[in-house]
Amino acid sequence: MKLNKGIMYAALATLCIGQASSVEASAQEPNTSGDQKVVTEAATVNGMTVDYTEQPIIINHAERPAVEIMSPLVGQVQNADGQAPQHITTNATYMDVLTNNDAVHTYIFTVTGKTKVTWQYKHVEQALWQHTLYDGNNEIIGSKEINSASHGLFTTYEKILSPGTYYMTITGNEVAMDEHYTFTLTEVLPKTFDDVPAEHPYHDEIGAIQQMGIITGFENNTFEPEAFIQRKHIAAMIMRAEADVQLVSSPPNFADVPFGHLYYQDIMGLYRSDIVAGKIIDGAVYFEPDAHITRAQLAKILVKAFNIEAVDEASYYTDIPEDHWHFEAANILASHGILFDNTATFNGDAFVTRADFAHVLYRAMHIVK
CATH number (domain holding residue 31): 2.60.120.380
Residues 304, 275: contact at Cβ < 8 Å? yes
Question: Has residue 218 been placed in a domain?
Answer: yes
Question: Has residue 352 been placed in a domain?
Answer: yes
Vertex 354: Cα angle to 350 and 357 (nearest 5):
75
Same domain, 287 and 174: no
Helix (H, G, I), strand (E, B) or coil at 174: helix
Same domain, 168 and 24: yes
Same domain, 41 and 171: yes
Q: Which amino acid is at 352?
A: V
Same domain, 169 and 294: no
C-alpha–C-alpha distance, residues 50 and 7, integer Å: 10
What are the pLDDT digits (tens) for 195-220?
999 889 999 899 888 878 888 888 88
| Tally of structural domains, the chain | 2
Same domain, 278 and 342: yes
Name the band, by pLDDT with cuts 50, 70 and 90, for residue 248. low
DSSP readout, 40-51? -SSEEETTEEEE
What is the per-residue pLDDT for 20? 34
Domain that holds residue 128: 2-187
State residue 50 phi and psi, 5-degree precision: -120, 125
Same domain, 208 and 182: no
The total of other beta-carbon atoms located within 10 Å of residue 67's CB is 11
From residue 65, alpha-carbon distances to 35, 83, 180, 261 in Å are 10, 8, 20, 64
What are the pLDDT digits (tens) for 217-227?
888 889 999 99
Higher-confidence position of 298 and 70:
298
Region of 261 (left: φ > 0; alpha: ψ -120 to 50; beta: rest) is beta
Same domain, 256 and 359: yes
Question: Has residue 196 been placed in a domain?
Answer: no
C-alpha–C-alpha distance, residues 184 and 25, integer Å: 14
Residues 196, 207: contact at Cβ < 8 Å? yes
Question: Has residue 147 been placed in a domain?
Answer: yes
Highest averaged pLDDT of the listed ranges 19-28, 147-156, 313-322: 313-322
From residue 315, alpha-carbon distances to 145, 319, 330 in Å are 36, 10, 9
Same domain, 136 and 268: no
Q: Which amino acid is at 294?
A: T
C-alpha–C-alpha distance, residues 176 and 197, integer Å: 46
**Model confidence pTM above 0.85:** no
Checking if the pLDDT of 53 tops 80, the result is: no
C-alpha–C-alpha distance, residues 355 and 228, integer Å: 9
Same domain, 49 and 176: yes
Max intra-chain CA distance, the chain = 80
What are the pLDDT digits (tens) for 118-176?
665 544 455 567 778 888 887 887 777 766 544 444 435 566 666 788 888 877 766 55
Residues 24, 187: contact at Cβ < 8 Å? no
Same domain, 261 and 324: yes
What is the per-residue pLDDT for 329? 97
